[in-house]
Structure 1
């Protein structure tokens, strides 16, 4: 019947292609993509002015923002007022709780490898860095600029506590390393003579952040002893951390560690241990990360002996 609907597929495709070519360039109306030269000039001018204004506005906002920050310290640091404890081996699905068989090396090999990795890193950094011996334990802060970088000789600091290659696991006296998170500019403070907590009165020393561990809920009969090195914890001489001021200092700074070795009095039973750090200004921050504890770490530990 000659109806348009009866056109073949190729005829329809050819017609659509011709329409598309006309849309791209209409030689009769002298238009490109449906617009003539005047229309393209108008829309081009509009977007040129629009994006120029947008770029100027963005640049002004960036300049204003840069006036509020400095190169020598972070702008926002109040949400983390005090450092928290962290543990090595780190918590993970495979390594938490700490559970191993004294007679089966494979059960504690993962813990030992992680401790050995950190131990070797500290040995290497101490040997390659230009560190100061930093006699004394006082805070090193020279009007906000700190060029002196105190060494942390892990072999000397730990002594006979938590020694490689087994870090006590082979003998059923497992070790962990604990450290404090870096908080820019934070300075530990000494307790007044009459304000030392009862939990650390026997071990506390001036110019140290004391570390103390006990069995959760005071079930001390489950724990024979705890050895800590260096005694009693973190020396003040490594604080404050001012890494943002000096890139060389930031790269070389080594966070101090404390080695803790546990001697449990029971086997084949899970024991929950609590380790805390003590300083006059380590208190709950009453902020986003507030807890009801001082800087605290909980470790669940089970030692079995299938000999």
Structure 2
């Protein structure tokens, strides 16, 4: 009677199980017994290569088709959703220039030093906290107003046809429009200028405040000084700005001077529709009276600036229609 092998009684070792070292590597590269190259036969390599070629070709075709559908539904030159139909809405925030250094980009505190008269910035980008760094960052921002391609001179009485494409005249900023913008001390005291602007929103075209409604509740928070300025303005087609100390101690400690004195920017600069564009600015000169030693006192003052035009909403939580910042002169 022939010997029988019990089922499962003996493990069957594959051919070459005992190969090791260079012999095992040589058989991995090419196995002459099976014709396998790197553990796969030529037919297996052909099948898997064909599969991935087809798979990734179809995947790329699907991606390109989806991208083409995306491009067909998105305009090239303007946003698909604008103003109230967009997430941004039609109530812009108010911006302040110059910007802070990258290290303090999330800060709203402007610190100047009445004893720092060094003319050299930390680096060519002005990425530091010296007075010269503030000047350098403002110089960089102001360079955009030298590019007048596609823009027009717009007299206030004949600007309708070129609205939104008007050149901004930096000379309108008076003393604040000239470097070093009050950032370098004189006799260990200084009165720096900050620049207020309405943030850009595509197609936003603000309407002027209706003078006849200035005594209505919607304008209760506008200062009496600004109401008088609006009533007496020769050109009322403006976005007006109201800046003040946020708290009683701030109002007592700071003196604000506006450039231009109308506290406004003309509506001829709106709407923004892309391309080369000059954001209109209002200069705000900040003076903190000297102390008994005839020096800047080093007090931090809190300032709020609000934009005023028809229908504007002021939201302190989301900084809509206004901005809040602090200034300290050491």
Q: Same fold (TM over 0.5)?
A: yes
Taking structure 1 as reference, are residues 49 and 16 closer, same or farther at Cα in structure 2, changes over 3 Å only? same
Moved over 4 A (4+): 92-96, 137-142
- Bigger mean CA offset, 105-114 vs 30-39: 105-114
SS in 2 for 1:301: strand
Give unmatched runs, 5+ long, in structure 1.
1-13, 244-249
Question: What residue is the counterpart of 1:79 in the other structure?
Answer: 87
Checking the alignment, whether the CA contact within 8 Å between 2:93 and 2:319 is kept in structure 1 is no
2:69 paired with 1:64? yes
Per-residue deviation, 1:46 = 2.2
What is the TM-score with the length of structure 1 in the denominator? 0.74
Residue among 286, 289, 311 paired with 1:262: 286
Checking the alignment, whether the CA contact within 8 Å between 2:132 and 2:183 is kept in structure 1 is no
Question: What residue is the counterpart of 2:325 in the other structure?
Answer: 299
- Give the alignment of 1:34-53 within 5 angstroms: 34-53=39-58
Checking the alignment, whether the CA contact within 8 Å between 1:230 and 1:259 is kept in structure 2 is no
- Give the alignment of 1:1-307 within 5 angstroms: 15-77=20-82, 78-81=86-89, 82-92=91-101, 97-106=109-118, 108-119=131-142, 121-122=143-144, 124-126=146-148, 129=149, 131-136=151-156, 149-155=165-171, 157-165=172-180, 167=182, 170=185, 172-196=190-214, 197=219, 198-199=222-223, 200-204=226-230, 206-219=236-249, 220-229=251-260, 231-243=262-274, 250=275, 252-265=276-289, 267-268=296-297, 269-283=299-313, 291=317, 294-304=320-330
Taking structure 1 as reference, are residues 114 and 149 closer, same or farther at Cα in structure 2, changes over 3 Å only? same
Which protein, 1 or 2, shows the higher relative CO under an 8 Å CA cutoff with sep ≥ 6? 1
SS in 2 for 1:253: coil
- Bigger mean CA offset, 80-89 vs 18-27: 80-89
Per-residue deviation, 1:270 = 1.9
Give unmatched runs, 5+ long, in structure 2.
1-18, 119-129, 291-295
- Bigger mean CA offset, 89-98 vs 234-243: 89-98
- Mapped to 1, the partners of 2:170 and 2:112 lie a distance apart of 26
- Mapped to 1, the partners of 2:93 and 2:132 lie a distance apart of 27
- Mapped to 2, the partners of 1:229 and 1:30 lie a distance apart of 87
What is the TM-score with the length of structure 2 in the denominator? 0.70
Number of equivalences: 272
